[in-house]
A and B are shown apart, each in its own frame.
Chain A
Amino acid sequence: MGFLKVQDLGVTYISGDQKVRALDKVSFSLKEGETLGIIGESGSGKTTLALALMGLIGKKDLVEGKGYFQGKEFLSLREQEKAKIRWKDMAMVFQNSLEVLNPVLNIREQVAEPLIKHLNLKGEELKGRVEELLQLVGLDISWKEAYPHQLSGGMRQRVLLAMALSCKPQLLLVDEPTTSLDPVSRKEILDLLERLQEEYGFTMVLISHDLSCIARLTSHLLVLYNGRVVEEGKTPDILEESFHPYTRGLINSSPNFFAYRDLWGIPGEGAWGEVEGCSFNPRCSQTLASCRERIPQLEEVAPGRQVACHRGGIVTLLQAKDLGKEYPLKKKVISAVKGVSLRVREGEVVGLVGETGSGKSTVAQILGRLIKPTGGEVTFQGEAFNGKVTRREGGIQIIMQDPFSSTSHRLTVEQVIREPLEINRIGTRQEREERVREALKGVQLPWDPAFLGRFTFELSGGQRQRVAIARALVMRPALLLADEITSMLDPSTQANLLRLLKGLQNARGFAMLFITHDMDLARKVADRILVMHQGEVVEEGSSHRIFTAPCCCHTKSLLEAAFGHHHH
């Protein structure tokens, strides 16, 4: 049995007739000296979890489940016994705010309070210990007579830390230590936490929105959504490749984790109270009917990784193995693509980068079924890859580089967008017209009859490319292949188009294979990166990993060429 073990912890807040389930069946265990990170949006139950462990949930509210601390059950202890453990064995650093500290006590009195209460220290001993603690957290002793409102946020955080550490607890619960701190204080606090943990060897539970802080301090990670654990595993593994769509959304919305990427939040509002089935399903990009029926249980999907998802985590949408494309040329054989294997998961943006002639577009054309590969195997949504994938809704659609070639100048906007529906006889005439209008709205083009009747040659390159995107969207694809779609556009049009496309991707949740030679664009858009060189994939990984710590020397030289020497 570990140092800390929690089983089926549940918390229900009760006020009058209203019951709010804040935590539901949360289980985890922690070894001594480890640090567990807890992440989740506001209202996901992170703080409730810490409060429940501390035994600070109100008396009226309901706490269920079992918790073992050093082998002893502690959640069911009576208040008096709990109070003994609190501060002495486990302490909590509360989220930094003015209200946490008593406004009428000065710093010395604040820090002394737990020392008096739990350790019965008096006189010189008490004074010495307070000063020692203030020094320990790097707060000048001259501040000890100051009142909370006179301190800066960073200083208050240090006071809170000093209070929590006063009785040398073995378990420290830290709630949002870096919120509302400036970058310098933030770094100092993190350094301090790291140093203190090294010195004191306490076990830590770190609750934070700040993924870079999580990445730095924690070894294990618990992802909470609507009071339930949706993903659990080793921190670096989860950050490199998240399995739950919610975790991925959290990572994508974190500016401090990988600063270059564009910010995109998880669409929709966080769940509130009871949701039928999986509570993430209204915001999920891969919902099935069964997701609305049952609550998913945590299941092991990889060694040490657990995910609560009916679909076993983010589903692999497209898997290609050993793709090859050879062109006979006179007596020689040119290999444009050699043994390329790739994987695109539901709702993710994979950037396929490499210099011109590296075979990127050939891969896109193979996957878009414009050309046939000479070798290899592709599965899409778990089924064999055939011509149907581009002909049905929820399949694969490709957007080509040149909008002037990919849309016929002899057709009107409506005819172009309606074409795939018409060829595949999807919907009635009215439905088709409605869907054309919808697609045009999606790409932010006018949808009045005058515009629908315009010939495509009357449009600008950017508009025409948006018409091409609308034609792809009208088929509601699960995977969109975007082959250098902005390379022929000016920077402003390119920016607008990319934001539009990424916004659509974020809102509708389709997956995208984004092919580009422009590393800046890839860095902005992609969740994962595949680097191609001379027809082969030379490196693959999450975009923050590739762009901050590339392994392959070719990737390094690509980044060097794109971003110059400042990068690293």
Chain B
Amino acid sequence: MGQVDLSTPLKGLDKGKAGEKLIKFWQELTAFGKVGLVILLFMIILAVGAPYFTWLPHDTSSGPPLVPPGGEHLMGTDELGVDLWSQISFGARVSLLVGLGTALLAGLGGGILGIWGGYKGGLAERILMRVIDIMIVMPDLPVMVILAAFFGSSLTNIIMVLALFSWSHPARIVRSQVMALKEQGYVQMAKSYGAGDFYIIFRHLLPELIPILAVSMVRLSGMAIVTEAGLSFLGLGDPTSRSWGLIINHALNFSGIYFTPFWKWWLLYPWLFLTLLITGLALFGRDLERIADPRILKGRY
């Protein structure tokens, strides 16, 4: 249909209204959701501002090895004398990058595939469903291990592999949602007025899909972060990336760490941050899911 005036839905997003909406959104969240969001924001600030929050290098030795927390080394050092606080701060970047990258890639890719399958229906939809079935029955971890081993373990590769194994979830929910929306009267009416596919997708389908996609992406990022940590822990992570999983991997490779007091910082702090991030994501995701439910949304916004 060429040019269609899509500018109007954005009208509402001028400054005052956007602020209002954010406040409203914050009020929608439960206490748990608020905690989750605060944790997330903290992690993002930590990752972005890592150079400002740390005073020691994160990749080279800056003191004696295995120093317990305190003094200059806020969280102690590892066996090479590298500052753990610096490592964790910079490691947050890796974790968030993996989470965000995977979520975006899988969410967008899965979303597009889901819209395509659901909207076209027929053969396209059947093909999509069969591929999704295959993805579901495939055991992800062993295949991921093989792929990571095969393609080498750069961060990009890990994100790609993770995305490859997680797009089916958003694709499935988007597809079923699109199939339901397609039958809605207003979509049929728009079609009878001669609306093109792009118009219908952008004007009528996407506004409904974005909330559920967002929920799905929050979940995916949590899963991706854990999986990346898992792969790193198994020694299949990017050895140069210095992710939290890799710190844990190094710590556990230190033979007899539990017989020493070193685990109290070397293992505990990265584990704590990882758990905190995952918990934050889960809490926030759970709330987002509740809000994104169209029936609740309908009454409020």
Q: Give A contacts to B, CB under 8 Å.
A: 368-370, 387, 390-391, 398, 400, 402, 405-411, 415-416, 419-420, 422-424, 457, 471
Q: B152 in the interface, Cβ–Cβ < 8 Å?
A: no
Given pairs A422-B5, A423-B190, 6 additional interface contacts (CB within 8 A): A370-B192, A405-B184, A407-B185, A419-B190, A419-B193, A424-B194
Q: B188 in the interface, Cβ–Cβ < 8 Å?
A: yes
CB-defined A-B contacts under 8 Å, sample of 21: A368-B192, A370-B191, A390-B193, A391-B192, A398-B189, A400-B185, A400-B189, A405-B184, A406-B188, A407-B185, A408-B184, A410-B204, A410-B207, A410-B208, A419-B189, A419-B190, A419-B193, A423-B4, A423-B193, A423-B195, A424-B193
Q: How far is the CA of A423 from the CA of B299 in the complex (A)?
A: 28
Q: B130 in the interface, Cβ–Cβ < 8 Å?
A: no
**Given contacts A387-B194, A408-B204, are A422 and B186 in contact (CB under 8 A)?**
no
Residue of B nearest to A457 (CB): B298
Q: Is the CB of B192 within 8 A of A398?
A: yes
Residue of A nearest to B186 (CB): A408
Tell me the chain B residues, 3-45 only, with Cβ under 8 Å from chain A: 4-5, 8-9
Q: B199 in the interface, Cβ–Cβ < 8 Å?
A: yes
**Residues of chain B contacted by A419 (CB below 8 angstroms):** 189-190, 193
**Residues of chain A contacted by B193 (CB below 8 angstroms):** 390-391, 419-420, 423-424
**Residues of chain A contacted by B204 (CB below 8 angstroms):** 408, 410
Interface centre among A368, A369, A387, A405 (most CB of B within 10 A): A405
Q: How far is the CA of A429 from the CA of B298 in the complex (A)?
A: 29
Q: B1 in the interface, Cβ–Cβ < 8 Å?
A: yes
Tell me the smallest distance from the CB of B11 to a CB of chain A, in Å. Answer: 9
Q: How far is the CA of A409 from the CA of B186 in the complex (A)?
A: 9
**Residues of chain B contacted by A400 (CB below 8 angstroms):** 185, 188-189
Q: How far is the CA of A251 from the CA of B194 in the complex (A)?
A: 39
**Given contacts A400-B185, A407-B186, A409-B298, are A391 and B194 in contact (CB under 8 A)?**
yes
**Residues of chain B contacted by A387 (CB below 8 angstroms):** 194
Q: Is the CB of A369 within 8 A of B192?
A: yes
Q: How far is the CA of A415 from the CA of B189 in the complex (A)?
A: 14
Tell me the smallest distance from the CB of B166 to a CB of chain A, in Å. Answer: 28
**Given contacts A391-B193, A419-B193, are A406 and B186 in contact (CB under 8 A)?**
yes
**Residues of chain B contacted by A405 (CB below 8 angstroms):** 184-186
Q: How far is the CA of A168 from the CA of B199 in the complex (A)?
A: 80
Residue of A nearest to B1 (CB): A423
**Residues of chain A contacted by B191 (CB below 8 angstroms):** 370
Q: How far is the CA of A416 from the CA of B184 in the complex (A)?
A: 14
Q: How far is the CA of A464 from the CA of B217 in the complex (A)?
A: 34
Tell me the smallest distance from the CB of A6 to a CB of chain B, in Å. Answer: 53
List the 7 closest A-B pairs by CB distance, nearest first: A406-B185, A405-B185, A391-B194, A408-B186, A420-B193, A390-B192, A423-B193
Q: How far is the CA of A405 from the CA of B193 in the complex (A)?
A: 16
Q: How far is the CA of A368 from the CA of B192 in the complex (A)?
A: 8
How many positions in chain B have a CB within 8 Å of any CB in the partner chain? 22
Q: Is the CB of A406 within 8 A of B207?
A: no
Q: How far is the CA of A398 from the CA of B190 in the complex (A)?
A: 11
Residue of A nearest to B299 (CB): A457
Residue of B nearest to A414 (CB): B8
Residue of A nearest to B199 (CB): A423
Tell me the smallest distance from the CB of A387 to a CB of chain B, in Å. Answer: 7
Residue of B nearest to A403 (CB): B185
**Residues of chain B contacted by A424 (CB below 8 angstroms):** 193-194
**Given contacts A408-B204, A410-B208, are A423 and B186 in contact (CB under 8 A)?**
no
Tell me the smallest distance from the CB of B252 to a CB of chain A, in Å. Answer: 50
**Residues of chain A contacted by B8 (CB below 8 angstroms):** 415
**Residues of chain B contacted by A408 (CB below 8 angstroms):** 184, 186, 204
Tell me the smallest distance from the CB of A527 to a CB of chain B, in Å. Answer: 26
Tell me the smallest distance from the CB of A16 to a CB of chain B, in Å. Answer: 59
**Residues of chain B contacted by A471 (CB below 8 angstroms):** 189
Q: How far is the CA of A282 from the CA of B189 in the complex (A)?
A: 33
Tell me the smallest distance from the CB of A368 to a CB of chain B, in Å. Answer: 6
**Residues of chain B contacted by A391 (CB below 8 angstroms):** 192-194
Residue of B nearest to A365 (CB): B188
Residue of A nearest to B187 (CB): A408
**Residues of chain A contacted by B184 (CB below 8 angstroms):** 405, 408
Q: How far is the CA of A387 from the CA of B190 in the complex (A)?
A: 12
Q: How far is the CA of A415 from the CA of B193 in the complex (A)?
A: 14
**Residues of chain B contacted by A422 (CB below 8 angstroms):** 4-5
Tell me the smallest distance from the CB of B295 to a CB of chain A, in Å. Answer: 11
Interface string of B222-236 (1 = CB under 8 A from A): 000000000000000
Q: How far is the CA of A315 from the CA of B191 in the complex (A)?
A: 29
Q: How far is the CA of A410 from the CA of B8 in the complex (A)?
A: 12
**Residues of chain B contacted by A411 (CB below 8 angstroms):** 186
Taking a contact as CB atoms closer than 8 A, the residue among A390, A402, A423 that contacts B185 in the complex is: A402
Tell me the smallest distance from the CB of A482 to a CB of chain B, in Å. Answer: 14
Tell me the smallest distance from the CB of B210 to a CB of chain A, in Å. Answer: 11
Q: How far is the CA of A380 from the CA of B13 in the complex (A)?
A: 44
Q: How far is the CA of A423 from the CA of B298 in the complex (A)?
A: 25
Residue of A nearest to B5 (CB): A422
Q: Is the CB of B188 within 8 A of A370?
A: yes
Q: How far is the CA of A307 from the CA of B184 in the complex (A)?
A: 46
Q: How far is the CA of A563 from the CA of B177 in the complex (A)?
A: 44
Tell me the smallest distance from the CB of B204 to a CB of chain A, in Å. Answer: 6
**Given contacts A415-B8, A422-B4, A423-B4, are A406 and B189 in contact (CB under 8 A)?**
yes
**Residues of chain A contacted by B195 (CB below 8 angstroms):** 423
**Residues of chain B contacted by A407 (CB below 8 angstroms):** 185-186
Q: How far is the CA of A11 from the CA of B184 in the complex (A)?
A: 62
Interface string of B174-214 (1 = CB under 8 A from A): 00000000001110111111110001000010011000000
Residue of A nearest to B191 (CB): A370
Tell me the smallest distance from the CB of A113 to a CB of chain B, in Å. Answer: 72
Q: How far is the CA of A457 from the CA of B208 in the complex (A)?
A: 14
Q: How far is the CA of A269 from the CA of B1 in the complex (A)?
A: 45
Tell me the smallest distance from the CB of B116 to a CB of chain A, in Å. Answer: 22
Q: Is the CB of B298 within 8 A of A390?
A: no
Q: How far is the CA of A440 from the CA of B74 in the complex (A)?
A: 68
Interface centre among A370, A387, A422, A423 (most CB of B within 10 A): A423
Tell me the smallest distance from the CB of A116 to a CB of chain B, in Å. Answer: 77
Q: How far is the CA of A422 from the CA of B298 in the complex (A)?
A: 25
**Residues of chain A contacted by B190 (CB below 8 angstroms):** 419, 423
Residue of A nearest to B8 (CB): A415
Tell me the smallest distance from the CB of B211 to a CB of chain A, in Å. Answer: 11
Tell me the smallest distance from the CB of A453 to a CB of chain B, in Å. Answer: 9
Interface centre among B185, B194, B208 (most CB of A within 10 A): B185
Q: How far is the CA of A407 from the CA of B190 in the complex (A)?
A: 10
Tell me the smallest distance from the CB of B203 to a CB of chain A, in Å. Answer: 8
Q: Is the CB of A390 within 8 A of B186?
A: no
Tell me the smallest distance from the CB of B24 to a CB of chain A, in Å. Answer: 14
Residue of B nearest to A432 (CB): B5
Residue of B nearest to A370 (CB): B188
Q: Is the CB of B194 within 8 A of A390?
A: yes
Q: How far is the CA of A411 from the CA of B204 in the complex (A)?
A: 9
Interface centre among A398, A406, A407, A419 (most CB of B within 10 A): A419
Residue of B nearest to A398 (CB): B192
Interface centre among B4, B8, B189, B194 (most CB of A within 10 A): B189
**Residues of chain A contacted by B207 (CB below 8 angstroms):** 410
Tell me the smallest distance from the CB of B297 to a CB of chain A, in Å. Answer: 9
**Residues of chain B contacted by A416 (CB below 8 angstroms):** 186
Tell me the smallest distance from the CB of B128 to a CB of chain A, in Å. Answer: 23
Q: How far is the CA of A523 from the CA of B184 in the complex (A)?
A: 31
Q: How far is the CA of A368 from the CA of B9 in the complex (A)?
A: 28
**Residues of chain B contacted by A406 (CB below 8 angstroms):** 185-186, 188-189
